[in-house]
């Protein structure tokens, strides 16, 4: 049992409480003022410091590209086939890679790890905690989404070798073709379930991996920087009645009214990076604030390792400097990210019954000079200054 006392607690969803948090078996069991606690509980005196939920990055490649390594540590893109929806990061993540420790020390307690964007369909996406030696024990939810990519990345990966796709038209066509095959596969399964005289289709691992997408159990996680690529993703989603999240959304500020009309959640970033390719020419830190102020649910991403994961709070702070409301920036790296990933029942805010993923800061976490004093994941102290 763990007892945190005398904290300025930002619950995110229920305001700020000057008080205490009681934790048992990795869960928050009480939060409020003047809480009594068992004498045998471990006590942390927050001493008036800031207490926040652990921060969440909704789009990373954590553990798939190991820090300071080249080919040997690169496991995020299977660049032999543009259609690989069946791949899952759980089989590629190295949880002992040092970026996990840096993340914990920086107050990041949960992430979504995705395959890269070389492929039109890159694979499934997984939500994990940032502590552990065995990835199986770190999983929050798997899968949380299926990764697809538009624009320069799949074009440059395959087009330069005279393979398809070389154009945006081919990317869209390949998506439609594969989704139609998956629909037919699902129809055959349903027909067999209704009448076993109908032949059950032979097992197809690619098609199986797309069934949760067709059933709207998980969204497509869309890599798209340009406005036209976002519109193509939306067009295809409507054709097949699919859920989407629009990740990167670099030109989102140019199409605010259209995105509002469509209503898909967005993940903005990485904004703390160079304009390394043509489709980033409109990159600006203004995007998150413009979309949020217009009424959209915005999450933020470092796209680690593009921007090191522990700089997520700094990215949120710069977004505030560029017009995002402070409360919305905090939501973008807590509850909004959790909702986007479908894990808000466990993380993203400080509430009774949720995982005890808690970070104590010596000052405002979005200020660059602030320090993490304690990081707590599942009720256990995993870092202390």
Instruction: Assign 110 a pLDDT band (cuts: 50, 70, 90).
Output: very high
Tokens representing 161 are 């070798």
Percent of the chain with pLDDT strictly greater than 70: 100
pTM metric for this prediction: 0.97
* CA 91 – CA 69 distance, rounded (Å): 18
* CA 371 – CA 374 distance, rounded (Å): 9
Q: Say what the alpha-carbon torsion angle 176, 181, 183, 189 is, to the nearest 10 degrees.
A: -170
Over residues 313-355, the pLDDT tens digits come to 999 999 999 999 999 999 999 999 999 999 999 999 999 999 9
Instruction: Assign 159 a pLDDT band (cuts: 50, 70, 90).
Output: confident
Instruction: Assign 153 a pLDDT band (cuts: 50, 70, 90).
Output: very high
Pair 104, 131: CB distance under 8 Å: yes
Over residues 33-86, the pLDDT tens digits come to 989 988 999 999 999 999 999 999 999 999 999 998 889 999 999 999 999 999
Strands 121-129 and 139-149: what pairing? Answer: antiparallel
Q: Which residues contact 129 (CB under 8 A, 6 or more apart)?
A: 109, 110, 138, 140, 357, 377, 378
Over residues 274-317, the pLDDT tens digits come to 999 999 999 999 999 999 999 999 999 999 999 999 999 999 99
């Amino acid at each position: 049992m763990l007892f945190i006392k005398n904290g300025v607690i930002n619950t995110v969803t229920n305001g700020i409480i000057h008080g205490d948090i009681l934790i048992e078996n990795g869960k928050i069991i009480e939060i409020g003022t003047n809480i009594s606690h068992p004498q045998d509980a471990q006590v942390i005196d927050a001493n008036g410091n800031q207490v926040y939920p652990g921060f969440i990055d909704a789009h990373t490649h954590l553990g798939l590209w190991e820090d300071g390594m080249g080919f040997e540590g690169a496991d995020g893109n299977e660049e032999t086939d543009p259609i690989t929806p069946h791949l899952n990061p759980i089989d590629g993540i190295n949880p002992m890679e040092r970026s996990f420790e840096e993340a914990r020390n920086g107050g990041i307690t949960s992430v979504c790890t995705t395959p890269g964007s070389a492929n039109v369909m890159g694979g499934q996406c997984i939500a994990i905690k940032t502590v552990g030696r065995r990835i199986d024990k770190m999983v929050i939810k798997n899968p949380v989404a299926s990764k697809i990519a538009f624009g320069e990345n799949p074009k440059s990966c395959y087009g330069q070798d005279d393979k398809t796709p070389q154009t945006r038209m081919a990317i869209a066509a390949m998506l439609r073709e594969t989704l139609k095959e998956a629909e037919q596969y699902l129809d055959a399964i349903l027909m067999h379930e209704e009448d076993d005289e109908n032949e059950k289709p032979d097992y197809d691992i690619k098609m199986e991996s797309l069934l949760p997408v067709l059933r709207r159990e998980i969204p497509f996680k869309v890599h798209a920087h340009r406005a036209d690529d976002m519109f193509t993703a939306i067009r295809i989603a409507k054709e097949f009645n699919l859920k989407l999240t629009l990740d990167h959304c670099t030109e989102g500020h140019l199409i605010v009214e259209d995105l509002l009309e469509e209503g898909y959640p967005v993940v903005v970033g990485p904004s703390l990076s160079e304009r390394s390719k043509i489709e980033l020419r409109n990159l600006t830190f203004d995007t998150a604030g413009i979309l949020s102020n217009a009424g959209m649910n915005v999450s933020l991403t470092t796209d680690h390792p593009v921007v090191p994961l522990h700089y997520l709070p700094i990215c949120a702070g710069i977004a505030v400097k560029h017009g995002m409301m402070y409360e919305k920036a905090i939501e973008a790296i807590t509850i909004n990210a959790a909702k986007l990933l479908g894990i808000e029942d466990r993380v993203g805010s400080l509430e009774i019954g949720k995982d005890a993923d808690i970070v104590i800061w010596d000052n405002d976490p979005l200020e660059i000079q602030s320090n993490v004093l304690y990081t707590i994941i599942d009720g256990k102290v995993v870092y202390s200054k």
